[in-house]
Structure 1
Amino acid sequence: MKKHAVAPSVKKKRKRSCSISQISDLETLFALLLASLSNQPQATLPFINKCLFIFRNSLLLSKSSVTPILALLPSLLSSTHSKIAIRAANVVGAASLASLELNEEIATDSETVRGLISLLESSDRDLLFSACNAVLDLSITTFAQQQLITFSALHKLMFVFLQIFKRLESVCLWSDRNESFQSLKIGFREDELSMALLSAITVLINACDLKQLHNIPKSLSEAILSLLKEIRANASHNLLIKGAVKSNDEVHVCKSHIGVSDLAESIFRVSIYASQLTVSLPFEVVQRGLFGTSDTSFEDFMSNYWEFSPFLLTRTLEDLKVNDMFNPFIQSLNWNGSVPSLLHSTLQGLVSCFPIASEEQNILNFLNEVKDRIGCPIIYQQDIRVVKTESQSRKETHYFQEPLCLTTEDVLKCEQAYKEGYTVALRGLEFRYRSIAAIADALALMFGQPSVGANLYLTPSNSQGLARHFDDHCVFVCQIFGSKKWTVYSRPGQLLPRLYDNLCGSDVDCTKAGRSEFFLREGDVLYIPRGFPHEAYTNYGVDNGSPGFSLHLTLSIEVEPPFEWEGVVHFTLHCWSENWKRPCCDATNYLSQKLVLISVNLLHVAIGIISTSDPSFRKAYLSAADSLPSDVYNRLTENQRKNFLDLIDKIRNECKFSEVLSNIEVAIQKNKDPFDQIQWLWVLSMEKEANNGYMDRSFIIEDLRSLCAKHKDKLEAAFLKVKSRFCSEVVFDDIVTSHRMLLQKYKKTRRQYVNGMISLHDKL
C-alpha cells in the first residue's frame, strides 16, 4: 500500500520536471522566466533555477543568442538567493565561451560585468567559486580582459585571494604530458576555489598594460607579490628533479591551466613598479670599495686609468673590516669552506635571464618575446658556462656541449666538472641578488651609464677558465674568496673596441706585447680597460698560503652606443636638427625640404666615418654621472665640455661631402646599411608621431641618388650649410640636459627588468 501511495506522487513530480525541460523555444522560456522574476514568490525559485540551467545548456550546445536574457543578467546576478546568482554566473560563463560574438556582447554590457564582479565580495564559497569561474570564462578575449580590469575585477580578486588562501602546502605542480618546464602547471590539493582565484588573477595581471599595473594600489601590490612568490617557491621546489611531479597520481588535485611561466610572468609584472626591490649604494661606499679611502681616489682613477691603463687596489684586512660593500652578498652565499655546497647554494633555484635589447623602451615588448619561457631554469651558454683552458693548446673546452636548461642533476655535474678543473662562470648576478643590484646601480650612476653587469667565476686550484682574450667593456675584477694571478697585456691598438663588436679572434698574438702581472687576494680589486688582452689562473696555494681556488666577481661597465662620444654627437645633431629644420625649410619648396633632410643624414654618416679611426669618439661620455659629489661632478663636467668642443671642431674640419658619398656608395655595393651606426637613433625617433626626418632608409637612399643626379651642387651646398650651422650653434649645457633625459629613458626599462628578475630570484 505504501508503494502505491507514493508512486503517483513521484511520477507526477517527474512529469512536471520534464515539461519544463522540454520547452525548446528560448523566447517562451524567457517569458516564463520574466514572469517568475516579476512575481518573486519563494515557490518560483526552483523554476527560475531550472530555467537558467536550461539557458546555460542551450548556450553550450547550440550557441544560441544570449540577447533575450542579457537584460535580466544584472538583476539575476544581484539576486539575494545564492542559487540564482550562481546559475546566473554560470550563464555568463557559458555565453562567454559559446562564441566570440557572445563574449563581446557580455563584456560590452557594463551592468552585467559590474554585477559579476560584485559577486566576488560574497562570503558564500560556492557563489564566489562560480563568479570566479565566470570571470575566467569571460577572460578568453582581450576585449573582455580589458573590461574586467577597467571595472577593478583584478583588485577585488587579489583582495579576496589574500583573505581566503591559507595553505601554501596545498600548492603543487601537474603535467599532462611530461616534466618539461613548458608543460608544468599549477595545482591545488582539495582547494578548487584558490585554484580558480589564482588562475583569474594571473590571467588579468598578464593582460595589464603598464598604466594598469602602475594603478594597482601599493599595499595590495606588495601583499599579492609576496604571496605569489611564496606560491611559486612552494610549487617549484625541486622543479625538474626526476619524479618531482607526482600530482598526476593524486586524486584530489584541482588542476589549473596556469603554467609556471604564467605565474612567473605575473610576479615579474607586479614587480615592475616596486620601488624598494633595489636601492643604490651611496657614492662613498662604492668609491672606498673600488678606488680606495682617499677623497680624491675616484678623480685620480678617472684622470690616470679610466679606459687607459690597468689599476690595482690592494685591500688590507683592516680595510675589509671597516667597509666591504660585498659583505651582504658574501653572507648570502653561506660559505662554510665547502666548494660543492657553495656551488649548490649558488646555482640551485636560479632562473634564466633572457637578454633584453639595449634600445628597448617598453618592458612589455620583452615579456611578449619570452612568453612561455620566463622563469625557466638557467640555460647553458646564455646564463652559465663551465669551461677550462688547457695550458698546451690554449683553447677553451666546454663541459656541456649543447645549450640546455640545467636541471638539478646538471648542477651536480657542475660540481664534478669543478673537480676536473673546470671554471663555473655565472652571468647576470645583478639580476639575481639584491646586494649586487645595489652595487651595479651605484656604479652605473657614477659612470653615467644605463646599467652595469656582474658575473661570477669559480675556479679550482691549478686551473685556467677562459682563454686569453680582450673584452668590449671595462671590468672591475673583485676577489671574493681565494686568490688568482692575472696577466694583462698592452692594448694592440689605439681604438677602443665597441660594445657588440665582433670579437672573434680576440685571442691576439701577445708575444711581443708588454705585460703586467697582478696577484689578487681576498678583497683586492683589479681594473682592466676594454681592449686589453688578459688571462688568469690559480695555483695550488702552497707557497703563498692561499687556499688555491678562486671566487671572483667582475663588474662590467658596458658603454652602449648612445653613451659613447660618437653617440652623444649623433644625439646632439638629432636634437639640433629638430629645432633648426622647421624655420630653415621653405614649407612651399619641396626640393629645399629634401636637401635639408638628406644633408642631416649625410652628416650622421660623416660623423660615423671619423669615429672609425679617431679614438676620442669611442670613449665613454660621463657628463650625466650626476650621482657624484657636486665638486667632483663640476670638475668632470668641465673636462667633458672641453672634449665636446674638440669633437665639434673635428666635425667642422674633417667631414667631407665627397667622402660621405663615396662611403655610402661602397656600403650599398656591399649590401650594407650606411646608417647602421645610428640604428638606436632610428628606434628612438620612431617613437614620435610627427615627421622628424628619420623616414624609411631606403627612401633616403633613393632621394640621395636622385639629388646627386640632378642637384649635386645644391646638395653639397646644403650639406656644408647644415654642418657649419650645427657646429656653430650647438650648446653643450643643452646637450647635458637632453642627454640626461635620454639616459633616464634607458634606465627606466633596465630598472623594470632588474625588478622583475630580482623578484624571480629573491636572493640577498
Structure 2
Amino acid sequence: MEKREQSHEKHADAVAACGKRKRNPMSFYSLQLEQAKADTIFALLLAALSNLQKPKSRFLIKKCLSKIRACLLSEASVRPILALVPALLNSKCSEIACRSADIVGAASLTSFEMNEEIASDSETLKGLISLLENPKRRVLLSACNSILDLSVTTFGQQQLLKFSALEKLMFVFLQIPEFSKSVFLCFEGRGNINCIKIGIKEEDEASVALLSSIIVLINACDIAQLQNIPRSLSEAFLTVLQELWANGNNQMAVGAAKKSNVAESFCKSNIGISDLAESIFRLSINVCQCNVDLPFEVIKRSLFGTGKSSFEEFISNHWELSPFLLARTSKNLNEDDIFSSFRKTLSWTGSMPSFLSSVLLGLVSCFPIASDEQDILNFLNEVKGRLGCPIIYQQDIRVVKTEKHLGEEVHYFQDFYPGCSKEPLYFMIEDVLKCGQAYEQGYTIALRGLEFRYQSIAAIADTLAFMFGQPSIFGCKQWTVFSRCSQLLPCLYDDLHDSDFDYATTASKEFLLREGDVLYIPRGFPHEAHTNSNGDDGSSGFSLHLTLSVEVEPPFEWEGVAHFALHCWSEDQKWPCFDGLTPLSQKLELVSVILLHVAIGILSNSDPIFRKACLAAAHFLPPDICDWLSKSQRNIFCHIIDKIHTESRFLEVLNSIEVAVQKNEDPFQQIRWLWLLNLKKEISRGCDPNQPFLIEDLPSYCAQHKDKVEAAFLDMKSRFCSEVVFGDVIASYGTLLEKYRKTRKQYINGMISLHDKL
C-alpha cells in the first residue's frame, strides 16, 4: 500500500513537472499587461531594462511598448515613460528600438507641449538620430517617421537641426545606389499642379521617409544653417536632388505624371514637386555660384566698340537721355563677343517650331522678387507651394504681335486664356506645341527672365547691373523707337500704357538691327519691333533678340540716394524713439525729418535728375573711368542737395500730406524700402517701427504746432544740407547695394539650379 501511494505521488509530481515545463511564462506577462496602468508599465520597463540580456526581459519590454503605443498615448500616461526612451532607443534589439522610435513619433503628435518636451530632451534626440546608422531598413523607417513627426513644429525642426540630424540623413541617403531612377510623379485629387507628389516605383517605405525627412529639414533651414552643412555633402546631395528634379520635371512637361493607384507597386510620399524645388533652390543659394562677372573692358568693347562711341560719351550723351545704336561689322562680330556662349547654347538644326519646343519644355516659372527684398527666405515664404511649377502665361511668357491697323498688341492665346482669369495660367505641353503654329503666323514668342535660366546670360546681366541696355544677338529686326512722352523717367512698375499716347502722330526713329548689333533704349521710350520677311537686305524671316534691362530699384535712383543720405544723417543724431513720453523738442526734430523726406519726393516729381539711376557704387571700373565717373556723380549729388536746400517748401509739404490723407493715399509709399531697411533696428531699440508713418495724426500735429514745426523744418533742412558728406553717404550706400545684390544673386543661383540642364 505504501509503495502504491508513493507511486501515485511520483506520477502526480511528474505530471505537475511536465505541466510546468509546457506552460508559456510569457502569456502571464501578456495577461498582466492587459490590466496594467502607466505606473505599473513604467516599473516593469525599469526592471526589465536592468537585465536586457535575458529573453524574458526583452519580451516584456516589447509587450510594454506595444501596450503604450496602442493605449497609453495621453500626455499624462506617456510622460513618465519618456524618461526611459533614450535607453530604449539605444537597445541592440532592433524591435525594441523600432517600437521606441514609434512611441517618440506618436507622442510628439499628441500636443505642441509634448512635442516641445520631447524635442528638448537632448538624449532622446541623440538616440533617435543614432538609429539612422542602423543597417536594418525597418529601424531606419521608424527613425525617419519619428523625425517627420517631430518636424511638424518649428521648434522640433530647429532642435533636430541643432543636433545635426540633417547631415546624418543626407549621408545615409547618399549611400542608396541608383535611387533617382526609381522616382516618378503621381497626381492626387483633381490633378492640380499642387497635388503632384513624389513617388518611388518599388515598395521602399524607408527611402520615401528618408527623402521626406531631408526635404522637410532643408526647407526649415535659415541661411546660416545652410552654410553650416559641409560643402562636399551639400554639393553631392544637390546633385542627387537635381537628378530627381530632372526626372520628375520631364514627366511633368509631357504630362506623364501617374494617377495614384493602390494596386500599383510603389510608395507615395507627401513631398510635392514644389517642396523638392525649394530644397534645390535653398542648397543652391550659396553652393552653386553660377554666374561669374565679366571683365569691364570686354563689356565696354562689346557694347560700345573701340572708336569714338566710348563709355564716357555714352554716359554723358545717351544714358537715360536718348537711344543709342552700336552696329557691329562682320569683321568684329566675334571679337570680344560677350554673347557668343549664349549663342552657342541656342544653336540648332531643324525647324523653328522644334527649336521653340526644345527651349520651352522643362522651363519653370520664375516668380518676381520684391524690389525692396533683402532676405531671400522672405521670397521663399511668399512662393511657398508654388516654386517649380510650369511657366505661367503673362508672367513668364507672352505670344504676341502688333497689328499696325489696330495700333495694339494681339495675343495668340487670347481665346484660351481670357484676361479675367484669376488663376495662374500654366503653360503645358499642348501650349508649347502651339507656339510653333503661332510663330508661323508671325507672332513673337517673348520669354521673360533668361538671366534666371541660362548661366551665360546670368553672368552678363550681373556685370551690366549698373546700366540699361537692349542688345540684339541673332538675326535681323526692325525697331521703331518713339519719343519719350514725359521728361520724367518712369519709376519701377509704373503703368506705361498711357491712353493719351498716339503712336500715329508721335515722332519716332527707325533702327535696323542685324546680328551682333546693340540697341540701348532708355526708360520711358515706347518701342516696338518687327521682323522683315526675306527682304532685299538678306534678312531671314525670323530673328532672336535678347533684352537685358536693369530694373532701377527706388533706393538707387538719385531720389533714393537723397532719402538714404537723410536717413543716415538723422541716424547719427541718435534721437530717441517717438512715443507719448517724447519731449516736444525731440518730437519736432523727428517730425521735421519725416517732412523733409516728403519734400524730397515732391522735388523728384519735377526734376528729372532725381529719377536718374545713380552710378556712384559701380564696380569693376578701370581707374581713369572710375575717377571721371566719381566726379560726375559728386556733381549730381551736390545738385540734389542744393535743390533740397533752396526749393523745399514747408507749406507745399504740409499741403501734400493733407491731400494724400484726404485721398486715402500714403505719401510715404516711395520710401517704404527705407522703413524696411530700418525695421530690425527699431524693434531692437524697443521702438514701434510703424510710428513715424502714422500719417493720420501728422496733419493735426503739424496744425497744432504749425509755427514751431515750420521753424524746426527749416532748421533741420539747413543743418542736413550743410553737414551731409558725399563720401560718407556713398560708403553706406555701397553697403546697401551689396545687400540687394547678394539677395538677387541668391535668387539667380536658385533659379538657375532649377534649369540646370540648360
Q: Same fold (TM over 0.5)?
A: yes
2:671 and 2:226 mapped to 1: Cα distance? Answer: 33
2:506 and 2:702 mapped to 1: Cα distance? Answer: 50
Displacement of 1:700 in angstroms is: 4.9
Mapping 1:345-356, distance limit 5 Å: 345-356=358-369
Q: Corresponding residue for 2:187?
A: 175
- Indicate if the aligned counterparts of 1:379 and 1:406 stay in contact, CA closer than 8 A: yes
Displacement of 1:646 in angstroms is: 1.4
Q: Corresponding residue for 1:609?
A: 602
Q: Corresponding residue for 1:463?
A: none
2:594 and 2:686 mapped to 1: Cα distance? Answer: 14
1:358 partner letter: S
Q: Corresponding residue for 1:729?
A: 723
1:410 pairs with 2:405: no
- Indicate if the aligned counterparts of 1:433 and 1:763 stay in contact, CA closer than 8 A: no
2:619 equivalent among 605, 614, 626: 626
2:110 partner letter: A
1:440 and 1:145 mapped to 2: Cα distance? Answer: 37
- Look up the SS of the partner of 1:372 in the other structure: coil
Displacement of 1:80 in angstroms is: 2.0
C-alpha spacing 1:9/1:588, structure 2 compared with 1 (3 Å): closer
Q: Corresponding residue for 1:451?
A: none
Q: Corresponding residue for 2:131?
A: 119
Displacement of 1:488 in angstroms is: 1.6
2:71 partner letter: S
- Indicate if the aligned counterparts of 2:484 and 2:525 stay in contact, CA closer than 8 A: yes
2:657 partner letter: I
1:545 and 1:296 mapped to 2: Cα distance? Answer: 27
1:537 pairs with 2:530: yes
Displacement of 1:477 in angstroms is: 2.7
Q: Corresponding residue for 1:482?
A: 475
C-alpha spacing 1:600/1:63, structure 2 compared with 1 (3 Å): closer
- Look up the SS of the partner of 1:516 in the other structure: strand
Segment drifting more, 38-47 vs 523-532:
38-47
1:176 partner letter: E
1:424 partner letter: I
1:663 pairs with 2:656: yes
- Look up the SS of the partner of 1:39 in the other structure: coil
Segment drifting more, 532-541 vs 344-353:
532-541
C-alpha spacing 1:726/1:698, structure 2 compared with 1 (3 Å): closer
1:699 and 1:535 mapped to 2: Cα distance? Answer: 44
Q: Corresponding residue for 1:558?
A: 551
Q: Corresponding residue for 2:701?
A: 706
Mapping 1:163-312, distance limit 5 Å: 163-190=175-202, 191-239=204-252, 241-245=254-258, 248=261, 251-294=264-307, 297-312=310-325
Displacement of 1:479 in angstroms is: 2.3
2:708 partner letter: K
Unaligned runs of 5+ in 1: 1-5, 448-473
1:8 and 1:421 mapped to 2: Cα distance? Answer: 95
C-alpha spacing 1:486/1:7, structure 2 compared with 1 (3 Å): farther
- Look up the SS of the partner of 2:191 in the other structure: coil
C-alpha spacing 1:381/1:687, structure 2 compared with 1 (3 Å): same
CA deviation digits over 1:636-668, x for unaligned, max 9? 010110111112111111111122122222222
- Look up the SS of the partner of 1:41 in the other structure: coil
1:155 pairs with 2:176: no
1:421 pairs with 2:415: no
2:244 and 2:234 mapped to 1: Cα distance? Answer: 15
C-alpha spacing 1:541/1:176, structure 2 compared with 1 (3 Å): same
- Indicate if the aligned counterparts of 2:657 and 2:699 stay in contact, CA closer than 8 A: no
- Indicate if the aligned counterparts of 2:471 and 2:546 stay in contact, CA closer than 8 A: yes
- Indicate if the aligned counterparts of 1:179 and 1:245 stay in contact, CA closer than 8 A: no
- Look up the SS of the partner of 1:530 in the other structure: coil
Displacement of 1:13 in angstroms is: 7.6
CA deviation digits over 1:522-562, x for unaligned, max 9? 11111111122222111212311121211101011221111
- Indicate if the aligned counterparts of 2:126 and 2:163 stay in contact, CA closer than 8 A: yes
2:20 and 2:697 mapped to 1: Cα distance? Answer: 93
1:103 and 1:262 mapped to 2: Cα distance? Answer: 23
Displacement of 1:249 in angstroms is: 6.4
Displacement of 1:26 in angstroms is: 2.6
2:737 partner letter: L
Q: Corresponding residue for 2:83?
A: 71
C-alpha spacing 1:314/1:30, structure 2 compared with 1 (3 Å): same
CA deviation digits over 1:432-458, x for unaligned, max 9? 1111111100001x44xxxxxxxxxxx
Q: Aligned residues, how many?
A: 728
2:531 and 2:461 mapped to 1: Cα distance? Answer: 26
Displacement of 1:513 in angstroms is: 4.0
2:453 and 2:256 mapped to 1: Cα distance? Answer: 27
C-alpha spacing 1:742/1:506, structure 2 compared with 1 (3 Å): farther
- Indicate if the aligned counterparts of 1:566 and 1:618 stay in contact, CA closer than 8 A: yes
1:279 partner letter: V
Q: Corresponding residue for 2:9?
A: none
Q: Corresponding residue for 1:639?
A: 632
* Largest Rg, 1 or 2: 2
- Look up the SS of the partner of 1:688 in the other structure: helix
1:8 and 1:40 mapped to 2: Cα distance? Answer: 24
C-alpha spacing 1:574/1:170, structure 2 compared with 1 (3 Å): same
Displacement of 1:7 in angstroms is: 13
Q: Corresponding residue for 1:129?
A: 141
2:70 equivalent among 37, 43, 57: 57
Mapping 1:26-45, distance limit 5 Å: 26-44=38-56, 45=58
C-alpha spacing 1:313/1:703, structure 2 compared with 1 (3 Å): closer
Q: Corresponding residue for 1:759?
A: 753
1:730 partner letter: V
- Indicate if the aligned counterparts of 2:185 and 2:251 stay in contact, CA closer than 8 A: no
Unaligned runs of 5+ in 2: 1-17, 418-423
1:577 pairs with 2:570: yes
1:599 pairs with 2:592: yes
Q: Corresponding residue for 1:458?
A: none
2:110 and 2:595 mapped to 1: Cα distance? Answer: 58
2:584 partner letter: L
1:394 and 1:315 mapped to 2: Cα distance? Answer: 31
Q: Corresponding residue for 1:3?
A: none
Displacement of 1:588 in angstroms is: 9.7
1:95 equivalent among 81, 88, 107: 107
2:98 partner letter: I
C-alpha spacing 1:329/1:692, structure 2 compared with 1 (3 Å): farther
1:7 and 1:354 mapped to 2: Cα distance? Answer: 77
2:182 and 2:278 mapped to 1: Cα distance? Answer: 21
2:744 partner letter: R
CA deviation digits over 1:580-626, x for unaligned, max 9? 364999x9981111111111111111111111111111111101002
1:746 and 1:295 mapped to 2: Cα distance? Answer: 34
C-alpha spacing 1:240/1:485, structure 2 compared with 1 (3 Å): closer
Displacement of 1:312 in angstroms is: 0.9
Percent sequence identity over aligned pairs: 60
- Indicate if the aligned counterparts of 2:661 and 2:696 stay in contact, CA closer than 8 A: no
C-alpha spacing 1:127/1:715, structure 2 compared with 1 (3 Å): same
- Indicate if the aligned counterparts of 1:477 and 1:525 stay in contact, CA closer than 8 A: yes
2:575 and 2:112 mapped to 1: Cα distance? Answer: 49
Give the alignment's Cα RMSD to 1 decimal.
2.5
- Indicate if the aligned counterparts of 2:645 and 2:721 stay in contact, CA closer than 8 A: yes
Q: Corresponding residue for 1:648?
A: 641
Segment drifting more, 253-262 vs 11-20:
11-20
- Indicate if the aligned counterparts of 2:365 and 2:390 stay in contact, CA closer than 8 A: yes
C-alpha spacing 1:691/1:144, structure 2 compared with 1 (3 Å): closer
2:689 and 2:651 mapped to 1: Cα distance? Answer: 22
C-alpha spacing 1:43/1:237, structure 2 compared with 1 (3 Å): same
CA deviation digits over 1:305-347, x for unaligned, max 9? 1111111111123323333222222222242252112211111
Segment drifting more, 506-515 vs 517-526:
506-515
